[in-house]
Structure formats: C-alpha cells, structure tokens
Amino acid sequence: MSELITATPHATPDPTATGGSTGDAAPPPHRVALFSDAVFAVIITILVLELHPPRGVTFAALVPLWPTALSYAVSFLFIAIVWLNHHHLLSRVPAVTPRLTWANFAHLFSVSLLPFTTSWVADSHLANAPVSLYAVVFAATNASYLVLCWEAMDRPQVGDEDMRRFMRLRSWTTLGVFLAGAAVAMASAVTGMALVVLCLFFYLRPGSWTSPR
C-alpha cells in the first residue's frame, strides 16, 4: 500500500514519507472532501439547469413532463445518497493515499455522467436504451465507490472485519442489481428503472455498516 500522508491540519509534509519529495504527497482528507463537495454541487447545478418549464400556462401542461420529473427526482436522490455515503466514508479515513485520491477521481467521474443520462431518459420518455445506460452509470458509480471503499477501509485501524465484510456484500449485491436493471431495461424500461430505485434504499443510512468511533 502507498505511504500514508497524515491528516493533521496545517501539518508539514514529511519529505521522507513520499520518497524524498513533497511533490508526491497526497492531499489530506479534508481537502479531498472539499473538492468532492464542489464537484457534487456542480453536478446538481447541471441537473437543475436541464429542467425547462412547459410552454403552456396550465397545470395540465406539466403532465407530459412526468419523465423529466421522475428522472430528476431519482437522480437527485441518487446524488444525495452518494454524497452522504462519500462524506461518511471520508470522515473515517485517518489519512489519504495516492491510490485513494485516484479512486475518488474515478468515483466523481462516474457521478458526473449522471446529468447526461438523466436528460436522455427524460427526452426519450423512458425509452429502453436510455434507461439501460442510466442503470449502467449507476452501476459504474457503485463500482467506483466499491474501489474507493476498499482503499479507504482496508486498514487495521479503520473499522473491523465484520464491517468490511458487510460493506463488500452490500456493494456487490447492489452492483449486481444495477447491472440486472440495465439488462432488464432493454426489454422493460419501467422494470429496469424500478430495480435502480430499489437499490437506492440499500444506501439511505450510510452509518448502517459502521460502528461508532
């Protein structure tokens, strides 16, 4: 495992901890969390900007926009859940490694694809291919979070083996359901979307798989 960089605020990096050069030092946990928060905020902003009012002036004009409302609500809930779990995970990381930093970038990249697929699902009125790709993005986000968890939690001082086992079981289970949703959506978009929504409930309580410090 890469050399750990201490997370003490205002601490001066030890050049010997990074092979003799401070240029290889990973950022402390609070900087990774702040950067990630900014990315999540931008993604939500882009998601909101994709909402456009109807041309009509009656409530009936809103009815045809139900795919937009549905996809936006699911995507917003998903981002909220991702942020809660991401924040909870990083709050338990005593130090950051370069591998954890890159795993975090991969996780943010997968989440950043959500506005595109959300817009496609809405414009297509829940067509099969858009919903399938939507589920694939959810699966990619889940997979990247699993990698992030492995790098963050695979340390003796963080949690215990039972917690890590439960974390792996939950992540692999939901990843499988997301991929099943992507496959099923090619035959039934509504069923595929339902499987995606079902998976979100597994992550509503980020503290359910961790024990208090």
- 97-127 tens-digit pLDDT: 889 999 999 999 999 999 999 999 999 999 9
- Calculated CA dihedral for residues 61, 67, 68, 70, nearest 10 degrees: 120
End-to-end alpha carbon distance in the chain:
23
Single-letter residue type at 95: A
Label residue 22 exposed, middle or buried (CB < 10 Å: 0-12, 13-18, 19+).
exposed
Domain boundaries, the chain: 26-49+62-207
- 134-168 tens-digit pLDDT: 999 999 999 999 899 888 876 555 556 676 677 77
Strand partners, 71: none
Q: Model pTM? A: 0.79
